[in-house]
Amino acid sequence: MRKVPLLMIGMLVGASAATLVSQTQLLSGTSAVAASAETYRHLSLFGDIFEKVRTGYVEQPEEAKLVEAAINGMLTSLDPHSSYLDPKSFRDMNVQTRGEFGGLGIEVTMEDGLVKVVTPIDETPAAKAGVLPNDLITHIDGEQVQGMTLNQAVDLMRGPVHSEVTLHIRRGGAVEPLEVKIVRDVIRVRAVRARVEDDVAYLRLTTFNEQTFPNLRSSIQQMKAEIGPDRLKGYVIDLRNNAGGLLEQAISVSDAFLERGEIVSTRGRDARDTQRRSATPGDLADGKPIVVLVNGGSASASEIVAGALQDHERATILGTRSFGKGSVQTIIPLGGNGALRLTTARYYTPSGTSIQAKGIVPDKVVEQRIPDDLLGRDQTQGEAGLRGHLAGEDEEAGGSSAYVPTDPTEDLQLIAALQLLRGQLIDVANPAEADTDERLPVPN
């Protein structure tokens, strides 16, 4: 996911021995020199191994692929979100953040050597084909995913528009893998979907791309006019299964509902790299109550928004615990050689809380009723369940549901949000059958 760069890192390749010596001499203290010498010894070891593979492997390897594999190995050993983007992947990522790209329409990560679906994007070929959060993709067009890098697997799933791809999916406790055929299409991501729920404005944010804040602003203006300022009870901001996106957009969306105060801080390894972002005057909702919906598929930028509005008591957070991705990835262009996606900081909510591997805990926990055929398959272990994840300051293992019914009349979290905004009594265990004659205070 592309974030606003927090720092730029350069790399000198093939430096002369004299240069290396001079750099070493600049280090202070014997221990620093010893550590530097150890680093160069390991680099020399890598060079020896590379040369032996290049000259002695049973078949002639492609040297560029050997180097790329070594780079990917180094980065994936850090955490699940750091990676190398070859030039094509870098171009594709830039296109995707603008909100239109070719493919299947799924957010993915790597887990135990397989591609794991974080969430399908609404109204895309993958969503229409029935792909679900937490599905594990084992084969792509008959090719085994085990042994591939994430970028290689993603490249296989991409292809010409209207061409077909076959995925073999392992889902939950099912014994036999599912075979899913999907026709690729141009993915036009509608960042915001809005509709009027009688006297409540409902806004579903599906991703944080360059269109998100402009779409949000225009949708709010339209619904204000349609409902009328006197009838409008408040807003539901639905961030469920929103896997994140651009940091700047998360800040803009948070700022849309806050008059003042910190939105988020990012803290790198060096305390001097700490950055704080604050709200500016102006509330698009005119102070009307807000309920934010989150679940196990709400990650990264979604958690920044939920955390900021929760800490400032501007919204009531409702649903299940979010994913817990509390790290910032900086995209560092490498000239014509693609880019480096590197985890450079953790982000913190205004109260100074890190949600890394913990997630946002809702003010009101409301579980969905899970259909029998999905029981045990809708749970996500979140960031804490990813192998090699960045350690959290206050980790909490355990799953959280990512299921959202397609029928709004069966969506218990949405029903509870509407009840809360209308001042009706919420039966958290069974909001669909709550006594609507009793009243609750309207949330701030």
**Active-site residue set:** 300, 311, 325
Q: Is the separation of the CB atoms in 344 and 330 below 8 Å?
A: yes
Helix (H) or strand (E) holding 167: strand 164-170
Alpha carbon separation from 155 to 2, 44, 56, 119, 125 (Å, rounded): 18, 33, 30, 18, 17
Burial of 234 (0-12, 13-18, 19+ CB in 10 A): buried
Strands 290-294 and 234-238: parallel
49 residue type, one letter: I
Nearest alpha carbon to residue 320 among 303, 295, 340: 295
Q: Is the separation of the CB atoms in 291 and 265 below 8 Å?
A: no
Nearest alpha carbon to residue 96 among 82, 111, 106: 106
Q: Which long-range contacts (CB under 8 A, 24 or more apart) does 9-13 make?
A: 9/332, 9/340, 9/342, 11/334
> 199 CB contacts (<8 Å, ≥6 apart)?
227, 231, 232, 233, 422
Nearest alpha carbon to residue 385 among 300, 295, 296: 296
Nearest alpha carbon to residue 415 among 197, 231, 234: 197
d(CA 159, CA 141): 12
- Number of CB atoms found within 10 A of residue 290's CB: 23
Q: Is the separation of the CB atoms in 88 and 200 below 8 Å?
A: no
Task: For 176, list phi and psi in degrees, rounded to 5.
Answer: -95, 135
Burial of 68 (0-12, 13-18, 19+ CB in 10 A): middle
Burial of 420 (0-12, 13-18, 19+ CB in 10 A): buried
Q: Is the separation of the CB atoms in 303 and 326 below 8 Å?
A: yes
